[in-house]
């Protein structure tokens, strides 16, 4: 999205966006191609959240987690070391640091870096995280703020796969991220969940693990199964009353698995604009 498009969206919603989110897969990301637009954005007031995904986009859509080339052991073997080093060296040249979110939702069995799939072990995730971070330190990671970002609910929901098992250590991160969605009744396995239901237990868990700032790195709400406008208003209320350590919320504004967009209906758009405006006018605590 261009700066002009962002500004137009801000005008339509009456909301100011401090953070913009992008995704890059290791098999299709040449950092040299991205540097011009990354440089341009980092020269504005905005912060970039860049999700860095060790997988191939040309995967079997029924089983995206089965990608042996991107197993945690393959990462630890050194196969991608040159790529990681060149990536970090390029980011170092940006005018200001960006938020880098590698291997997000690691406690979800839909990604090849999850500890319970692709012949991985949960403990390999921590080793792989430290390996990647160590290489970036070697390159001089001045342009990186590290975001460790589990999903709000572990899948499978087992002791082995608990989000706490993937924590690489307080000294290895700069932010804690959390992802979670209200799928409503769009799936056989889903039901309507309020923002606090989705994030409450995970927020408590990461607050025990770390004192670093918390961001909601992905969230959105479906239209089916409840009142999306009321859900949005409730999210802003919960952020002020329950989730006081959250400093940033990133809305996954796309029509993908379902229509996550803020403008999925006029009612939802109005609710977001009104709640966000009122939220920004209140004094911070």
Assess if residue 158 is contained within a domain: no
Q: What is the pLDDT of residues 118-140, one digit of tens each?
A: 999 999 999 999 999 999 999 98
In this predicted structure, the answer to whether residue 79 has a pLDDT above a threshold of 80 is yes
In this predicted structure, the answer to whether residue 1 has a pLDDT above a threshold of 80 is no
pLDDT of residue 143: 87
210 close to 163: Cβ distance less than 8 angstroms: no
Specify whether 185 is located in the same domain as 80. no
- Going by the DSSP 8-state scheme, the letter that residue 196 receives in this structure is H
Q: How far apart are CA 117 and CA 155, in angstroms?
A: 11
282 burial type by CB count under 10 A (0-12 exposed, 13-18 middle, 19+ buried): exposed
pLDDT of residue 85: 95
What CATH number is associated with residue 92?
3.20.20.80
Specify whether 138 is located in the same domain as 105. yes
Q: How far apart are CA 183 and CA 222, in angstroms?
A: 5
Assess if residue 168 is contained within a domain: no
Q: How far apart are CA 174 and CA 180, in angstroms?
A: 20
Specify whether 89 is located in the same domain as 215. no
pLDDT of residue 284: 33
Specify whether 2 is located in the same domain as 121. yes
The count of domains in the chain is: 2
In this predicted structure, the answer to whether residue 165 has a pLDDT above a threshold of 80 is yes
Distance of CA 192 to the CA centre of its chain: 22
Q: What is the pLDDT of residues 197-245, one digit of tens each?
A: 999 999 999 999 999 999 999 999 999 999 999 999 999 999 999 999 9
Q: How far apart are CA 175 and CA 236, in angstroms?
A: 21
Q: What is the pLDDT of residues 18-68, one digit of tens each?
A: 999 999 999 887 888 899 999 999 999 899 999 999 999 988 999 999 999
- Residue numbers of the domain that contains 8: 1-150
In this predicted structure, the answer to whether residue 282 has a pLDDT above a threshold of 50 is no
């Amino acid at each position: 999205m261009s700066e002009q498009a962002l500004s137009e969206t801000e005008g339509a919603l009456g909301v100011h966006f401090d953070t913009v989110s992008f995704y890059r897969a290791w098999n299709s990301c040449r950092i040299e191609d991205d540097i011009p637009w990354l440089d341009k954005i980092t020269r504005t007031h905005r912060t970039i959240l860049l999700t860095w995904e060790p997988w191939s986009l040309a995967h079997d859509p029924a089983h995206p987690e089965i990608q042996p080339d991107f197993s945690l052991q393959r990462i630890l073997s050194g196969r991608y070391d040159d790529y990681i080093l060149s990536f970090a060296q390029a980011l170092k040249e940006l005018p200001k640091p960006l938020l880098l979110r590698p291997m997000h939702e690691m406690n979800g069995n839909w990604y090849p870096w999850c500890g319970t799939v692709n012949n991985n072990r949960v403990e390999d995730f921590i080793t792989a995280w430290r390996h990647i971070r160590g290489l970036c330190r070697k390159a001089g990671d001045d342009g990186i703020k590290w975001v460790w970002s589990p999903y709000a609910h572990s899948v499978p929901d087992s002791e082995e796969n608990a989000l706490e098992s993937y924590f690489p250590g307080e000294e290895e991160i700069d932010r804690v991220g959390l992802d979670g969605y209200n799928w409503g009744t769009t799936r056989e396995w889903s039901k309507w969940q309020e923002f606090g239901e989705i994030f409450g237990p995970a927020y408590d868990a990461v607050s025990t693990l770390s004192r670093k700032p918390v961001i909601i790195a992905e969230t959105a709400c479906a239209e089916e199964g409840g009142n999306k406008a009321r859900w949005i208003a409730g999210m802003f209320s919960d952020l002020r009353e329950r989730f006081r350590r959250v400093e940033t919320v990133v809305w996954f504004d796309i029509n993908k698995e379902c229509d996550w967009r803020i403008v999925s209906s006029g009612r939802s758009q109005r609710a977001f604009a009104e709640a966000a405006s009122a939220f920004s006018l209140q004094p911070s605590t």
